[in-house]
Structure 1
């Protein structure tokens, strides 16, 4: 599947707060069978949603295992924080996973955010500006190690001294996904380094503002924004009819508190036809990748309705 261009792709973003590996594997293999083009895991150690003792698998090692047990779907980590691993170590791991997957990796980087793992494991959590500096250096280090025979780099936080990475990734260019939407610094980093920009869907109005900010940064550095694929992660609760969808929404609200930040991530509570209408508003703004956020307990009706009814309608819409 090409990285650039206007090909429309659908995927699932699996939050691996499971208690067994088989639960994660089932979603990925089922997504592949249903025709999704992409599957990703997140990179949290102790995500707040599960509480201080909630289950959560490591993203990088889980990604390797899932890549080995699938054959077609693009495999992604979305997104890795350089605060967890030295950027050179992460680049080596990514190159290895590209081999494991047969050249299907799309590697995500971000600045990192709230995670109970920092406090529980004693991992330093720098201020936002420092994390942005570290992200920019991580982008440069990864690309250098993936493409150059010998790499030297002297940054504020990361240094390479005649560094080698072998074997190189199978792909001539691993797509670098950068996740985030801060309009001043983050989108500047996206403009300079990303093959794919990912953000939460939000509203079409808020997405348009962020898209325009990214285009402004691209103009400043002389890069066409069309070189960067636009990816949104969204949630939905779907059913065959509106009455059933309303019932399923009520069930969700009983599980989530009324002020849950997760509610802002839901684009549609309704039928597949309504979801198509909602997503086409984003397609009209240039979105190419639609990533359905899925966390345990897996909403199988929505996963299947998106694949069978929403995906083909959005892909073929004129």
Structure 2
């Protein structure tokens, strides 16, 4: 499945807050068998879900193990925080995983968000501006180490001196995924460095505004917005009919408080047909990658309904003739 271009891809984003490796492996292998093209894990050590003592496997080492036990699906970390690991160390680990996977890695980077691990483990959590600077340097260092025979870099936070990375990744260009939607700084970094931009779906209206901001940054750096694949992570609760869907939504609301911010991540509570209609609104805005967020307990019914009904319907829809770019409508390539 090509990374660039207009081909639609579907994936699962699996928050690895499981008690066993087997639970994560089952999701990835079943997702691959169902025809998903992408699977990812996150990069948190102590996420708040499950309380301060909840389970959470390490993202990078888990990704390597899952890559070794799958054969086709694209493998991603969504997204790695340069506050956890020196960017050069992360680049070496990523290149190794690309070899383990046979060239299926898509590596995500982000500016890092709240995580109980910073306090519990005594890891520094810089202010937002510093984290943005670190992310920008991490993007530059990572790409240099993957592609240059010898790399030198002198940044505020990262320094390389005649640095080597060998063997190089299997892929000539590992797709760099940048996650986030900060309109002033984060999307400028996306415009400069990303092969793929990922963010939470939100509403079509809010997503359009983010696309317009990205297009302005692309214009400033001399890059065409359509060079960057657009990826959204969404959640859904699906059922075969509307009555069952309402019952399943009520069950979810019994587990989550009515004011939970997690509810904003849900695009659809309904049937597969309703989900198709909801996702096509994002497809019209140029989205090519739809990533279903899956956290324990795994909603296998939704995972299977998306694969069997939503994925083929969205993938077979005509590509958008035009999508919002911030400078007017731009013909899709």
> What is the aligned partner in structure 2 of residue 47 from structure 1?
47
Structure 1: gaps of 5 or more residues: none
Q: How many residues align?
A: 318
- 1:200 equivalenced with 2:200 (yes/no): yes
Aligned positions of 1:10-21 closer than 5 A:
10-21=10-21
State the 1:27 CA deviation.
0.1
Equivalent residue, structure 2, for 1:136? 136
Distance 2:304 2:249 in 1: 17
1:21-68 per-residue CA deviation (whole Å, 9 max, x = no partner) reads 000000000000000000000000000112100000000000000000
Offset from partner CA, 1:175-198 (integer Å, 9 cap, x none): 000000000100000000000000
Deviations 1:131-179 (A, max 9, x none): 0000000000000000000000000000000000000000000000000
Report SS of the residue matched to 2:177. strand
Query: What's 2:217 paired with?
Result: 217
Q: Distance in 2 between matches of 1:22 and 1:281?
A: 36
Match of 2:93 in 1: 93
Partner of 1:6: 6
Per-residue CA distance 1:180-226 (angstroms, 9 max, x = gap): 00001000000000000000000000000000100110011110111
1:114-193 map, 5 Å: 114-193=114-193
Matches within 5 A, 1:46-85: 46-85=46-85
How far apart are residue 317 of structure 1 and its match?
1.2
> Could you tell me the TM-score, scaled by structure 2's length?
0.95
Alignment match, 1:236: 236
Unpaired segments ≥5 residues, structure 2: 319-333
Give the C-alpha shift of residue 242 in structure 1. 0.3
Deviations 1:274-316 (A, max 9, x none): 0000000000000000000000000000000000000000000
In structure 1, distance between residues paired with 2:183 and 2:307: 32
Q: Distance in 2 between matches of 1:312 and 1:200?
A: 22
- Provide the rounded CA distance (Å) in 1 between the counterparts of 2:39 and 2:171: 18
Counterpart Cα distance in 2 of 1:2 and 1:129: 34
Please give the per-residue CA displacement for 1:72-112, whole angstroms capped at 9, x wherever unaligned.
Answer: 00000000000000000000000000000000000000000
Q: Give the whole-Å Cα distance in 1 for the aligned partners of 2:94 and 2:226.
A: 25
Q: Distance in 2 between matches of 1:288 and 1:244?
A: 29
Give every structure 1 segment of 4 or more consecutive aligned residues whose post-TM-superposition deviation is greater than 2 Å.
none
User: How far apart, in 1, do the equivalents of 2:209 and 2:193 lie?
Assistant: 20
User: What secondary structure, in the 3-state scheme, does the structure 2 residue paired with 1:277 have?
Assistant: helix
> Over aligned residues, Cα RMSD in angstroms?
0.4
